Structure 1
Amino acid sequence: MNYQKLLQEVEKYVSDFYFDHHNPKVLYHNQDHTNYVVNAAIQIANHYQLDDKDFFTVVAAAYFHDLGYFSNNGNDIATHETRGAGIAEAFLTQKEVDPAVVDQVKKCILATHMPQQPNGLLEEIVCDADLFHLGTGDFPAKNKLLRKEIEAIREVELTKDEWRKKNIAFLQAHTYFTDYCQLLLGHAQQETLEKLMKKEAEHEADDAEENDKVTAEKTGKHNGNGNGKDKDKKQATGNKKQPKDNKPERGIETMFRISSNNHQRLSDMADNKAHILITVNSIILSVLLSMLLRKLEDYPHLTIPAMLLLTVCVSTMVLSILSTRPKIPAGTFTQEDIDKRQVNLLFFGNFYKMQLEEYTKGLQAVMNDKDFLYDNLTRDVYAQGVVLGKKYKLLRIAYNIFMFGLIASVLAFAIATTVYAQVVTK
């Protein structure tokens, strides 16, 4: 099935649906929101390199997930996911889409129901795409639209304080499901939550102060001396120095996490590339040894091409194996290494032979020293990069040998066969 063409049909159908079912009360869950979620789903799906079927499933679910708001005049918002899933099922069934794909699209849509409970990567991607804005600069504008929509549909008025408390509770309960969104958006979402909590704390402090003033006025205790004491207390509190935060900054932590995660993905890709080379050359070698080499006595003119191909396959396999062969360090460290900050305790090769008590003591020293911790993180990322450099260098040589060697072998077989045919003819 041509999923790309089908996705274009889905896009047109959803666009026409919004045009035909306009509801002025639905200010947030409209076509703009759908397009935003679709773009977010595409971004996340591309990160995980989904195949055509899974990519279609995720994006189609993103297109259909909020159509339920319009299928019942936007009044029954509690079941809009179910209605959206029904609309998707009707359309995709009409297009003769595989029932298994239709079922997966429905599951992705239903997974966006609050509280979100996705099962599997595809549902997690759609859920994270639906709330992608929580970790971006688009949150304030979209949050205002959502508030206006709720007020219009439910015919209620929400004060800023009520809405802020709802947002705080929602953000505290929400976490992104995919590691990609956790790394990309988690920090910004936490910052938004902290800002809201700070505003809420200031508001509560202002209310408390106002209540104290009212109480003092009623009891006759609100006088100049009292104000002076309050001022002294505030000054005393303001002059207290806050303990210096010696923990790593969130932005730096995010940088290290993303770098480490990217290196791990590149390492997995390198291993997969090496596995492909090893598998392909193993097949060629098995055919070469079982069939051709046994008959070289009958076809002596193929000896040189066969040996050339054999050399190419063996060389490629050796380099591929070398690129994936693990190198294990000594696995121990000393107290002197800790004191001099010369050991990376984040890499298993430096401690796998140590006792738990010794490792725990060393790791506590790392955690209690921000500079030492940064040094360990830097060493870890650097070591990963060095290993990746060696892997990809060996793989590049292996692929070059395989590519050019295969071409040379085919040419050698062709030349040998042609020359042999001419000799036999004469």
Structure 2
Amino acid sequence: MQNSAIIDAARDYVLAQYQQHPHPNLVYHNLVHTQQVVQAAAQIAAHYRLQDDELLAVYVAAWFHDAGYLLGDASIHEEQGAKEALVFLQQQQVPEHVQTLVQGAIMATKMPQSPHSLVEQIVCDADLFHLGSKEFPERNKLLRQEVALTYQKDIPAAKWLATSITFLNDHHYWTDYAQTLLKQQKEENIAKLKKKLEKKSGEEQEQAAITDTSKPDGEKVKKEKLKKPERGVETMFRLTSTNHIRLSSMADSKAHIMISVNSIIISVILSVLVQRLEDYPNMIIPTVIFLTTSVITVIFSVLATRPNVTSGTFTKADIEKKDTNLLFFGNFYKMKLEEYDWGMKKMMNDSDFLYSSMTKDVYYLGVVLGHKYKLLRISYSIFMFGLIISVMAFMIAAIFFPVKA
């Protein structure tokens, strides 16, 4: 019999088994899963140049790998599936070496997987193909539901998520094709599970903190919720800090413009105009006004950008009292790494301390910005009014006090 006919016969045989042995609890290890495994096995096998007998073994093993669930104890379903496949292959008068390949591939799917040949690796990767696909969330929900139905026990969401994360981290694909194709999506699936676990753990902690039944009279005492700040709060801190830093950069740029412009003015006055004052004594007062304006403008611009030097140290008492801001470099730049690391861990383990530090950081950034812009406003005002007065002084000197020939 041709291999394609045997594969079709294996399909029909397994379909008949699912019809003859309905199992309502198998919401995951059902016919849909088997068909998906066959499809995945065909996709992986197409990448490799398998012999006809090897390709036949891959297809038959994929169809029979979970047939044991229909025949008895789920814990030994691989052995039962391998026996059922052997009965079918003997009926089809398939060569013994193909029978051995099929049985080996089915047994290799037993956890932890242990494939030795390429055929076994393909079937193992096809069996867990969904771990690296976008269908994983839905398949994982069905598996949890099946386990709950089988053992008549509800599994806490956090526990199931943690178990799933461990399983995915410990699992690896055997074929190069599956490793290349499924690696990225599998990592994304793990990341999503971790995010869900973090959220679920936070919700359970909040729920546990609402009441306390430890009092003798059994009265429930309301506790303060261990509220984890929402994402909007964190976004607010991030945007506010970013805006303050951007405004600080703009202030520095404005101060730099004032310093550059007035430095050029001062240079021109000292190198050109001052040398001609003997010939034009009427221009002395306007020149002095202009020079003074530029010098004072530069002074205030420099003050706006001049950094303040802080102590750069903190003590353990400061940390215990939550009296220092470790997010600002000026409070720790003289400290040793071990001391700073200790302080940061203390802060990160205390949400009140952490968000208090973030609030202080935003506040003091605002204070520094206010000081900068105040000095800049003075600098620009001096330059604007000084320039007007200087020009008017030059005009008055030229018109009303001309130099006599």
With normalisation by structure 2, the TM-score equals 0.52
Matched, 1:120 2:117: yes
CA shift, 1:82, in A, is: 0.3
1:154/1:115 CA distance change after superposition, 3 Å: same
CA shift, 1:95, in A, is: 1.5
CA shift, 1:162, in A, is: 2.1
Whole-angstrom CA distance in 1 between matches of 2:18 and 2:85: 14
Amino acid at match of 2:45: A
Matched, 1:60 2:57: no
1:213/1:56 CA distance change after superposition, 3 Å: same
Root-mean-square deviation (CA), in Å?
Answer: 3.0
CA shift, 1:240, in A, is: 7.2
Q: 2:166 aligns with which of 148, 164, 169?
A: 169
Matched, 1:196 2:193: yes
Whole-angstrom CA distance in 1 between matches of 2:233 and 2:146: 45
Q: Which residue of 1 aligns with 2:24?
A: 24
1:126/1:213 CA distance change after superposition, 3 Å: same
Matched, 1:49 2:46: no
- Residue segments in structure 2 that go unaligned for 5+ positions in a row: 216-220, 240-405
Equivalent residue of 1:26, what SS? Answer: coil
Alpha-carbon deviations, 1:337-389, whole Å to 9, x = none?
Answer: xxxxxxxxxxxxxxxxxxxxxxxxxxxxxxxxxxxxxxxxxxxxxxxxxxxxx
Aligned pairs for 1:213-228 (under 5 A) are none
Equivalent residue of 2:144, what SS? Answer: helix
Whole-angstrom CA distance in 2 between matches of 1:192 and 1:159: 19
Alpha-carbon deviations, 1:22-68, whole Å to 9, x = none?
Answer: 11111111111111100000000001132211111011000000010
Q: Which residue of 2 aligns with 1:418?
A: none
Alpha-carbon deviations, 1:375-419, whole Å to 9, x = none?
Answer: xxxxxxxxxxxxxxxxxxxxxxxxxxxxxxxxxxxxxxxxxxxxx
Q: 1:131 aligns with which of 128, 133, 138?
A: 128
Q: 2:87 aligns with which of 90, 99, 110?
A: 90
The total of aligned residue pairs comes to: 230
Whole-angstrom CA distance in 1 between matches of 2:24 and 2:208: 41
Q: Which residue of 1 aligns with 2:313?
A: none
Whole-angstrom CA distance in 1 between matches of 2:233 and 2:13: 64
Amino acid at match of 1:183: T
Alpha-carbon deviations, 1:291-318, whole Å to 9, x = none?
Answer: xxxxxxxxxxxxxxxxxxxxxxxxxxxx
Alpha-carbon deviations, 1:249-283, whole Å to 9, x = none?
Answer: xxxxxxxxxxxxxxxxxxxxxxxxxxxxxxxxxxx
Contact 2:67 2:81 in 1 (8 A): yes
Whole-angstrom CA distance in 1 between matches of 2:208 and 2:21: 50
CA shift, 1:213, in A, is: 7.7
Q: Which residue of 1 aligns with 2:40?
A: 40
Q: Which residue of 2 aligns with 1:397?
A: none
Equivalent residue of 1:157, what SS? Answer: coil
Deviates more, 1:118-127 or 1:138-147: 138-147
Whole-angstrom CA distance in 2 between matches of 1:156 and 1:207: 19
CA shift, 1:205, in A, is: 4.0
CA shift, 1:18, in A, is: 1.2
Whole-angstrom CA distance in 1 between matches of 2:236 and 2:91: 69
1:213/1:16 CA distance change after superposition, 3 Å: closer
Amino acid at match of 2:179: Q
1:111/1:166 CA distance change after superposition, 3 Å: same
Whole-angstrom CA distance in 1 between matches of 2:143 and 2:233: 41
Contact 2:54 2:119 in 1 (8 A): yes
1:156/1:206 CA distance change after superposition, 3 Å: closer
CA shift, 1:159, in A, is: 2.2
Amino acid at match of 1:61: A
Whole-angstrom CA distance in 2 between matches of 1:192 and 1:158: 20
Amino acid at match of 2:12: K
Whole-angstrom CA distance in 2 between matches of 1:11 and 1:236: 55
Amino acid at match of 1:109: I
Whole-angstrom CA distance in 2 between matches of 1:210 and 1:154: 27
Q: Which residue of 2 aligns with 1:368?
A: none
Whole-angstrom CA distance in 1 between matches of 2:211 and 2:91: 68
Q: Which residue of 1 aligns with 2:384?
A: none
Whole-angstrom CA distance in 1 between matches of 2:81 and 2:18: 13
Q: Which residue of 1 aligns with 2:139?
A: 142
1:188/1:56 CA distance change after superposition, 3 Å: same
1:189/1:93 CA distance change after superposition, 3 Å: same
Q: Which residue of 1 aligns with 2:97?
A: 100
Whole-angstrom CA distance in 1 between matches of 2:156 and 2:203: 17
Amino acid at match of 2:112: P
Whole-angstrom CA distance in 2 between matches of 1:206 and 1:140: 20
Whole-angstrom CA distance in 1 between matches of 2:142 and 2:205: 31
Equivalent residue of 1:47, what SS? Answer: coil
